[in-house]
Amino acid sequence: MTSISFLGTGSGLPSADRFFSSTLLSVGGLHLLVDAGEPCVHLLRDRGTLIRDIDAVLLTHGHVDHVGGLPALLQGAMLLGRTKPLAIHLPGEIIAPLRAWISALYLTEEGLGFPVSWMAWKDHEPVVLGDGIIAMPHENSHLKKCYRFLPGADPSRLYESFSLQIAQGDFKVLFSGDLSLASELKPFLTEPMAVLVCELSHFGVEELATALQGARIGSLCLVHLSEDLAEDLEYLQGKLEELLPGVGDITIPGDGESLDF
């Protein structure tokens, strides 16, 4: 069975109601963790042996609310006796900093007890995750448009951020990651999409609805909501159903909720 479990659905703003970004996609016998916002290790522990069993971690970009739980996940896997190799797919520019961070926390990759492979995304280059399961990274401008201009930012950095499409046959799911503009979704939606897991923090409801006009989407799942939209979920649900009558289902999952397909 294919399922999507929403472990953490919050934005980068700390919240008492929602954890940071992490989603578990189970498809074709694989368990794929999309982003590793904290406290993903605890949320996986609630799901049996998944800390030992997940096949890959897929990171969209390097913001702390998307990667902050990774060291604890690796340590937890070590303490629980994981031996299965773990592939971590991520923007290439953050591989060295993350490995240095893990080392600074007194974890050694040699001492984990399982091999870790660090695999850099390359824009529009497909990655085979398993038999018939393909991940396609699409670079977006989330970091390039804003964060490279912050005081003290290094303009020479790549500032890589990705949306991720994962497909098995006709089943396709798109994880938007964080975006700069809702229109960045449009090139990915020329074909039917079973599920779109989309952030709604960096643009408004009308902008998203405009970008999705005419798209053939079975289920639209809204996560990473801005603070104002998170205050009235009933209004948000109704507004998008009004603006997007062609979308099959529109849901605003909370932490811990799952969808089966």
Give the pLDDT confidence of 8-25 residue by residue, as tens digits: 999 999 988 899 999 999
Q: Which two tokens stand for residue 130?
A: 């398993």
How confident is the prediction for the chain on average, in pLDDT? 95
pLDDT grade, residue 2 (50/70/90)?
very high
What ranges in 154-232 are assigned the alpha helix state H? 205-212, 227-230
Q: Which two tokens stand for residue 235?
A: 């209004």
pLDDT recorded at residue 111: 97
Conformation bin of residue 169: beta by default, left when phi > 0, alpha when psi is -120 to 50? left
At 87 the three-state DSSP class reads strand
Give the pLDDT confidence of 49-58 residue by residue, as tens digits: 999 999 999 9
Q: What percent of the chain has pLDDT over 70?
A: 100
Give the pLDDT confidence of 178-192 residue by residue, as tens digits: 999 999 999 888 999
CATH architecture of 3-260: 4-Layer Sandwich (3.60)
Q: Which two tokens stand for residue 30?
A: 């694989």
Residues 6+ apart with CB under 8 A from 260: 1, 2, 3
CA separation, residue 69 to residues 7, 23, 117 (Å): 12, 12, 17
Distance between CA 130 and CA 118 in Å, rounded? 17
The yes-or-no verdict on residue 1 having pLDDT over 90 is: no
Q: What percent of the chain has pLDDT over 90?
A: 89
Q: How far is CA 171 from the centre of its chain?
A: 17
Strand-pair partners of 225: 200
pLDDT grade, residue 34 (50/70/90)?
very high
pLDDT recorded at residue 150: 87
**Mean pLDDT of the 93-116 span:** 97
Give the pLDDT confidence of 112-160 residue by residue, as tens digits: 999 999 999 999 999 999 989 999 999 999 999 878 788 998 888 899 9
For β-strands 171-175 and 193-200, DSSP reports them as parallel
pLDDT grade, residue 108 (50/70/90)?
very high
| 39 prior amide bond cis, ω within 30 | yes
